[in-house]
Structure 1
Amino acid sequence: MRFSLRLTAAATLGLWCLGAAPASAVGLLPHRASYRLSLDTSKPSGQLEDMSGRIDYEITGDACGGYNTLTRQESVASTGEGDPQKQATTSKAWEDGEAKSYRFLSTSDDAGDPESRTEASVVRQGQDALKVTVTKPKGETLELKGEILLPTEHVMRVLKVAAEGERVFQAKVYEGTSDPGKVFDTLTVIGAPSTDETRLAAPARATLSGRTFYPVTVSYYDEGATGRAPSYVMAFSLYDNGVVGSLKIDYGRFALVGAMSAFEALKPSEACAK
């Protein structure tokens, strides 16, 4: 049994910013962060005896020039039979600040399997369509219908409703890093704001101390399957400057807990007035 751990762009860390001002007036904080992953022992995991790994995340750019993200996730899973299963997934992406275009390159390297690569660019065509031009693993063009949000656009919508005091948000979200035609139906639940520093990780105290955060849970469903169990659920603490603190990724059969192990705030752009 193999345990695949594709972490999607939409669920990836740090693309969240929130504050008392309108979302359009708030910039995403450029930063790097690392998270140490471990198996959630409070949840039954079947044949999976242990799993560990890490997520390294970086975001740069701004609303004027677009946002660049780099995410790498590594994991090692043990079932008690045979050698541990190793997997590494890297995703590089850029999204236009106005959510009109998006491009990404994702690579996945499973021990014993050849490296897989997914590369595509996305252009919005009106309010209810996306055109996806795929270059890897094979050239093709896809037309995706419906009001579909791009990853950072989804974040901004969540931030807007959160700033307005709403606590639930539903949307279709594009996620092509594992499948260039993949769209998720998402349900986001936003908890009450807090400034409790009890669980604030030491590497980020200088940046996050005293800042407001929200407990956020995002459930990802296969398109049209919201009546079934979600494909996975991601829960995390979302700070008002866009940083994710602690997190948990529930894949159904098992869950991983992520603890921040490193953090570095990067210099923001001074030229963008958006």
Structure 2
Amino acid sequence: MRRAPIIAVVLALAVPSLARADIQPHKAIYDLVDEDGAATGGRVEYEILGNACDGWAVLQKIDIPKAGARVVTTNASWEAADGSAMRFHETTERDGQTVSRFRGQAASGSNGFAVFTDGEGGESFGQLPQGTLLPTLQTKTLLTQAKRDRSVLSSNKVFLGTSSEGALPLEITSVLSPRASTPGDHPELDGQPSWNVTSSFYEAGGRPDTGPDYTVRSIQFGNGVVQSMEITREGATARARLRSLDLYEVVECNR
């Protein structure tokens, strides 16, 4: 199974549908940077639209230089506001030529399942264990706890709808701790609560006693915006920094 860009996984978990409609529809653009903060030529675009009635539509586009080529992965998804179901579609291109694509759907609950269909028509099916969370519900749970308790330690099975885990959930352990605002925060985020988030990801069949498959450190704001992230896997670290942010009007839920 092809591994999805890990930054896509991070952003998939950064799409809260909070009970008090705290989510802010927005478009964020991130630069991929080195350890000194210098841009490396890669870019991530992330856009979320929707509300707490109709669910959330997310478009992610990751553009990275790789071995002299441009590799662009585009993922579009929709998730029900209550986290009960999702649909997703992903395409990867190399210098404008499609190299892979897949689509699928998933549902949580007592009869949870996930289905992947690749570009050749091949299909994979998996049962999702009772208690498996979809991305919005996972983040909703974490941030709701963080707003109540300030600090959070949580472990959940989560299905993300990326090719990294196929039709199986990941085990994700997350620690959230409150942070104070800093002069480097984006001005559009002034007044928003924020947390330092460290998440450890264990792929299906992995052994927690051997350590996580990868670790993500990010700064998460209460309106759903991720300001920065750092992803470590197999000794290598990737970093993304918020370059621009457009906050959209909140569409109220009247049901």
Interval containing the TM-score (normalised by the shorter chain):
0.7 to 0.9
CA 1:65 to 1:112, structure 2 compared with 1: closer, same or farther past 3 Å?
closer
Deviations 1:148-186 (A, max 9, x none): 110111111111221231421100110232154132110
The answer as to whether partners of 1:58 and 1:71 remain within 8 angstroms in 2 is: yes
Which 5+ residue runs of structure 2 have no aligned equivalent?
Answer: none
Structure-2 residue corresponding to 1:215: 196
Equivalent position to 1:24, from 19, 23, 38: 19
The answer as to whether partners of 2:21 and 2:51 remain within 8 angstroms in 1 is: no
- The amino acid of 2:210's aligned partner reads R
Q: What is the RMSD computed on CA atoms of the aligned residues?
A: 2.7
CA 1:121 to 1:63, structure 2 compared with 1: closer, same or farther past 3 Å?
same
Deviations 1:33-63 (A, max 9, x none): 0000023369xxxxxxx95411100000012
CA 1:115 to 1:211, structure 2 compared with 1: closer, same or farther past 3 Å?
same
Structure-2 residue corresponding to 1:186: 172
Q: How many residues align?
A: 247
The answer as to whether partners of 1:11 and 1:234 remain within 8 angstroms in 2 is: yes
- The amino acid of 1:260's aligned partner reads L
The more displaced of 155-164 and 99-108 is 155-164
Equivalent position to 2:102, from 118, 122, 126: 118
- The amino acid of 2:173's aligned partner reads L
After TM superposition, the structure 1 = structure 2 runs for residues 143-222 of structure 1, keeping only pairs within 5 Å, are 143-146=126-129, 147-165=131-149, 166-179=151-164, 180-194=166-180, 196-201=181-186, 205=187, 207-222=188-203
Structure-2 residue corresponding to 1:6: 5
After TM superposition, the structure 1 = structure 2 runs for residues 66-145 of structure 1, keeping only pairs within 5 Å, are 66-77=55-66, 83-110=67-94, 114-124=98-108, 126-127=109-110, 129-137=111-119, 138-140=121-123, 142-145=125-128
CA distance in 2, matches of 1:64, 1:239: 22
CA distance in 2, matches of 1:232, 1:112: 29
CA 1:76 to 1:107, structure 2 compared with 1: closer, same or farther past 3 Å?
same
Consecutive aligned runs of 4 or more in structure 1 exceeding 4 Å deviation: 111-114
Cα distance, 1:258 vs. partner?
A: 1.3
The answer as to whether partners of 2:6 and 2:231 remain within 8 angstroms in 1 is: no
CA 1:74 to 1:112, structure 2 compared with 1: closer, same or farther past 3 Å?
closer
- The amino acid of 2:189's aligned partner reads L
Which 5+ residue runs of structure 1 have no aligned equivalent?
Answer: 18-22, 43-49, 78-82
The answer as to whether partners of 1:8 and 1:175 remain within 8 angstroms in 2 is: no
The answer as to whether partners of 1:30 and 1:265 remain within 8 angstroms in 2 is: yes
What is the TM-score with the length of structure 2 in the denominator? 0.86
- The amino acid of 2:232's aligned partner reads D
CA distance in 2, matches of 1:8, 1:64: 27
Secondary structure in 1 matching 2:216: strand
2:45 is aligned with 1:64: no
2:232 is aligned with 1:232: no
What is the TM-score with the length of structure 1 in the denominator? 0.80
CA distance in 2, matches of 1:10, 1:188: 14
Larger radius of gyration: 1
Secondary structure in 2 matching 1:176: coil
What's the % identity of the aligned pairs?
24
2:18 is aligned with 1:36: no
Cα distance, 1:88 vs. partner?
A: 1.4
The answer as to whether partners of 2:114 and 2:128 remain within 8 angstroms in 1 is: no
